[in-house]
C-alpha cells in the first residue's frame, strides 16, 4: 500500500482542491470496499464543505462542516486522482472542465462546487471509507490504538526503547505493528533497518538501547526524504495529480534481492527473506 509518505503526498495533492470546497456531487459505484460503506454515504457527503484534510497514520481524514469526518484508507492499490478545476490544472482541462474517461475500479467520485473531481480507484479493494463524528475520529475502531506519528513529538528515543523492551518479536514485525508506531509499511521498515544496521530478524527486545534510539531519527529521515520525493511508485501508487513519486530510485535494499550491498567496503549481497508473509530485504553482512 501506500505507506505514510505516499498517503501524505496524496493528502497534499488533494488539499488545494478539497479544502474549503463543497462536495457538489458524490457518486458511489458499489456498496463496499474492504468493508461496507456507511449508510447513505453519498447523501451524507453531498453538500458538505471540506473544512480540513488531515492525515493520521495511513488514513486521510476529511473534516466536513456537517460535523462528520470522512475516513479514507488506500489499502494496497488505492489511488485518489484529481482532475479538472482548481489551481495548477491543465488549462484546456480547466477551461472545458474535462475529466478523464471512467476507468475500471473507479469506486467513488467526488465533484466539488469548483469543478474539480476526485476519483477513488482501487483495483484490489483493500481500501476503506467510513464516516464518523469528527470529535470521535480518534476513537474510531480503525484508528483507536494506533501508535504515535513517527514525525511527531511523541515518537522519541525513550518511547521506542520502552516499546521494544521485552519484545521477543522480530524488529521487522515490531516496526510494522501500527500500535507501536503509525504509518510504516514494508518498504520503509526495510530501508530504515538497513540504514540503522539492524537485522530485520533480530528480536526487538534484544537490541541495545542506543541502537534502538538511533532508529528514531533514521525512521524520521527516511520518511521525510520519501515525502520530499513524492513517495515511492511501484505498481499502483500515483500522486493526486497522477504523477509518479520517485523515492523508489533511492531504495537501498527494497526490491534489490541479489544485488550488491551499497555500503562502502561491504561485499555482501542483498537477501530476501519472508517474515510473517512479507518480504524482508536486508544485507546479512552489515545488518546485525
Does 124 appear as a known binding residue? yes
User: Exposure string (b/e) for 240-253, b if CB count within 10 Å is 16 or more?
Assistant: bbeeebebbeebbb
State yes or no: residue 249 binds DNA (CB under 7 A): no
Q: Hey, which residues does 272 pair with through a beta bridge?
A: 281
Only one of the segments 46-54, 153-161, 220-228, 229-237 lies at the binding site for DNA (rule: CB under 7 A); that segment is 229-237
Assess 230 for contact with DNA (CB under 7 A). Answer: no
- Where does residue 78 rank: exposed (0-12), middle (13-18), buried (19+ CB within 10 A)? buried
In the block, residue with C-alpha cell 530510485:
249
Q: Is 236 in the site for DNA (CB under 7 A)?
A: yes
The secondary structure of residue 161, as a DSSP letter, is: H
Q: Is 235 annotated as a binding residue?
A: no
Active-site entry in 11, 55, 56, 58 = 58
Residue 2 bears catalytic tag: yes
- As beta bridge partners, residue 271 has 282
Task: Round to whole Å and give the CA distance between 198 and 112.
Answer: 47
Classify each residue of 82-114 as buried b or exposed e, where b means 16 or more C-beta atoms within 10 Å of its C-beta: bbbbbeebeeeebeeeebeeeeebbbbbbbbeb
Q: Does 76 bind DNA (CB under 7 A)?
A: yes
Q: Does 2 bind DNA (CB under 7 A)?
A: yes
Active site residue 54: no
Catalytic, 58? Answer: yes
Residues 164-193 that bind DNA (CB under 7 A): 167-170, 173, 176, 178, 185-187
Nearer to DNA, 3 or 111 (CB): 3
Q: Does 231 bind DNA (CB under 7 A)?
A: yes
Strands annotated E in the chain: 23-28, 50-56, 59-64, 68-73, 78-83, 106-112, 117-122, 128-133, 271-275, 278-282
Active-site entry in 3, 6, 8, 68:
3
Q: How far is the CB of 46 from DNA (least distance, A)?
A: 27
Contact pick of 12, 22, 25, 34 for DNA (by CB under 7 A): 34
Q: Which of 91, 104, 249, 264 binds DNA (CB under 7 A)?
A: 104
Active site residue 102: no
14 and 60 Cβ atoms separated by less than 8 Å: yes
Which residue ranges make up the site for DNA (CB under 7 A)?
1-3, 6, 34, 57-58, 73, 75-77, 104-105, 123-126, 142, 167-170, 173, 176, 178, 185-187, 231-237, 274, 276-279
* Residues identified as active-site: 2-3, 58, 278
Q: Which residues are annotated as a binding site?
A: 105, 124, 167
Amino acid at each position: 500500500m501506500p505507506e505514510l509518505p505516499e498517503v501524505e503526498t496524496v493528502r497534499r495533492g488533494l488539499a488545494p482542491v478539497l479544502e474549503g470546497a463543497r462536495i457538489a456531487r458524490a457518486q458511489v459505484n458499489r456498496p463496499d470496499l474492504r468493508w461496507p460503506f456507511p449508510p447513505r454515504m453519498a447523501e451524507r457527503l453531498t453538500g458538505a464543505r471540506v473544512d480540513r484534510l488531515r492525515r493520521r497514520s495511513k488514513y486521510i481524514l476529511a473534516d466536513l462542516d456537517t460535523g462528520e469526518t470522512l475516513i479514507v484508507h488506500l489499502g494496497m492499490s488505492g489511488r485518489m486522482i484529481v482532475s479538472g478545476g482548481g489551481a495548477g490544472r491543465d488549462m484546456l482541462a480547466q477551461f472545458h472542465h474535462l475529466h478523464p474517461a471512467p476507468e475500471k475500479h473507479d469506486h467513488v467520485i467526488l465533484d466539488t462546487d469548483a469543478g474539480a473531481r476526485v476519483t477513488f480507484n482501487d483495483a484490489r479493494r483493500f481500501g476503506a471509507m467510513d464516516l464518523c463524528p469528527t470529535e470521535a475520529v480518534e476513537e474510531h475502531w480503525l484508528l483507536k490504538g494506533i501508535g504515535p506519528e513517527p514525525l511527531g513529538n511523541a515518537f522519541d528515543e525513550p518511547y521506542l526503547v520502552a516499546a521494544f523492551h521485552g519484545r521477543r518479536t522480530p524488529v521487522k514485525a515490531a516496526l510494522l505493528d501500527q500500535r507501536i508506531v503509525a504509518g510504516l509499511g514494508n518498504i520503509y521498515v526495510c530501508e530504515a533497518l538497513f540504514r540503522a544496521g539492524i537485522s530485520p530478524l533480530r528480536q526487538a527486545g534484544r537490541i541495545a538501547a542506543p541502537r534502538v534510539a538511533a532508529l528514531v531519527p533514521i525512521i524520521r529521515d527516511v520518511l521525510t526524504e520519501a515525502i520530499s520525493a513524492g513517495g515511492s511508485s511501484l505498481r499502483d501508487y500515483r500522486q493526486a495529480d497522477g504523477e509518479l513519486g520517485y523515492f523508489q530510485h533511492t531504495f537501498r535494499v527494497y526490491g534489490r534481492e541479489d544485488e550488491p550491498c551499497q555500503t562502502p567496503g561491504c561485499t555482501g549481497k542483498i537477501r530476501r527473506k519472508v517474515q510473517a508473509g512479507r518480504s524482508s530485504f536486508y544485507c546479512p553482512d552489515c545488518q546485525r
